[in-house]
Amino acid sequence: MSRKKILVIGAGLAGLSAARHLERNGIACTVLEKEREPGGLCRSKEVRGFTFDCDGHLLHFKHPSSFALVNRLLKGNLKEHRRSAWVYSYGRFCRYPFQANLYGLPPSVVKECLLGLMERPPAMSRRSKTQETFLHWTLRTFGRGIARHFMVPYNTKFWTLPLRDLTCEWLQEVVPVPSVPQIVEGTLRPSRKQYGYNARFWYPRQGGIQQLPAALAKDAGDIRTGCRVVGIDPRTKTVTLSSGAKERYDCLIATAPLPEMAGLIKGMPLKVRRLCGQLRWNSIYNINLGLDRGNDLKAHWVYFPQKDTRFFRVGFFDNISRTLAPEGKSALYVEAAYSRGRPIEKKSFARCIRKDLEKIGLLRHGEKIVASDINDIQYGYPIYDIRYAAARNALLRYLEGHTIFPAGRYGWWRYFSMEDAILDGMRAAKAVRAHV
């Protein structure tokens, strides 16, 4: 074992994966986690016989090697699913993605979507393409009809800001882009083709998503829960915990949110500190509900683009795994987004959500909720606006210059999946190995 002292802030997937990688390569490390248990966003809760994840957490893989790793960690307790995802629009359910499944929508909506497709603005020059806004990309890719009836209302609700303020850096495989013939075909009949990165997904056959961090934690060395890091002094290479205790380090892997570094790092120059203030994010208000009846809808999840519902998505735990709800009962997860610029009234929010669910028929009027759980996720999705890239890159450079290795969805500040977070933890661990 190396004698160097490695500290990891955060026992989410990224921190655990980094620690596991180091331990397996003979480098001992200590993971400091502020919560009472490891897992970060991938924790699950048992409530009256239901297993509630912290919002929906489904696995998808870009790399066969990460599938193999997760499958090994979960000892084969992994089931593959073919996505059943829907969009609720104009009082009806149509298949996801909206842009490839216009069939069944009101004729005037279909007509507007097709006309918009024919009248799309031209592509931009390669140079100006790098500065293209998400709004412009949407109009240029799908036309004004699909933009008006799905892309703009859905994404405005989700990102909580006008789409002209978003860049296209996060798009990659997140937004499916069917061809024009595929869009036209989708007006004639429901599309059989599955689009997008999550057309197939995996989930534990038994139990909630917490099994994944729990399996990683077994080999991740010394994990100290209830240890919040409240200060980092890069000069003396020490961190301070909320208890007042200090820990020395040679290398520090930080999966805590990048915007919080301004408050944590002692002696951070004002110029760098200001960059933290330029980063923006949305927050997710997740309500999980257990019902005393089976589920009529066979969907995994449904998107809600329209303004008359406060949530942007509702998913169905028991359709993902029967083991998440007791026999004869069902459970759903509701997701709504908010931010500093678009706050929500938290006191009355659950009541408003219930009304919206009743309006759509996902809850029966006056129906008894037998189990519930709320997760107010402060850091939901990093917002890719015009200042994102410059601020983030300069902050990462500053941290790396001070032997702090940022990692994970919030440390590295990217729209990461669980697979990405695990891989990013390994990337950070390899960088530490190269350093010590």
Residues that bind ligand FAD (CB under 6 A): 9-15, 32-35, 40-42, 55-59, 228-229, 255-256, 284, 377, 380, 408-410, 416-419, 421
Beta bridge partners of 99: none
Q: Based on CB atoms, which residue is closest to ligand FAD, 80 or 119?
A: 80
Tokens, residue 42: 């991938």
3-state helix, strand, coil in the chain (%, to 5): 35, 25, 40
CB of 190 to ligand FAD, least distance (A): 24
Nearer to ligand FAD, 174 or 390 (CB): 174
The residues facing 246 across adjacent strands are 240
> Minimum distance between the CB of residue 411 and ligand FAD, rounded to whole angstroms?
7
Give min distance, CB of 70 to ligand FAD, in A. 10
Residue 102 tokens, joined: 């216009």
Nearer to ligand FAD, 59 or 275 (CB): 59
Question: For residues 40 and 186, which CB has a smaller minimum distance to ligand FAD in the complex?
Answer: 40
Rounded to whole angstroms, the Cα distance separating 310 from 370 reads 22
Closest to ligand FAD by CB, 149 vs 409, is 409
DSSP 368: P
- Whether 331 contacts 316, CB under 8 Å: yes
Minimum gap (Å) between residue 434 Cβ and ligand FAD: 21
Enumerate the H helices of 199-345 as residue ranges. Answer: 211-217, 261-264, 270-276, 317-320
- In angstroms, rounded to a whole number, what is the distance separating the alpha carbons of residues 436 and 433? 5
Report the alpha-carbon distance of residue 390 to residue 110 in Å, rounded: 40
Q: What is the closest distance, in whole angstroms, from the C-beta atom of residue 199 to ligand FAD in the complex?
A: 14
Cβ–Cβ < 8 Å for 42, 409: no
* Shortest reach from residue 255's CB to ligand FAD, in Å: 5
- Minimum CB separation of residue 298 from ligand FAD in Å reads 19
Q: Rounded to an integer, what distance in angstroms lies between the CA atom of residue 29 and that of residue 428?
A: 13
For ligand FAD, give the closer residue by CB, 40 or 290.
40
Residue nearer to ligand FAD on the CB measure, 142 or 159: 159
Strand pairing partners for 85?
301
Rounded to the nearest whole angstrom, what is the least distance from the CB of residue 15 to ligand FAD in the complex?
5
Residue with Cβ nearer ligand FAD (143 or 315): 315
Residues paired with 30 in a beta bridge: 7, 222
**Residue 325: which residues within 8 A CB-CB, separation 6 or more?**
49, 50, 51, 290, 317, 318, 331
Residues 198 and 300: beta-carbon distance below 8 Å = no
Amino acid of residue 232: I
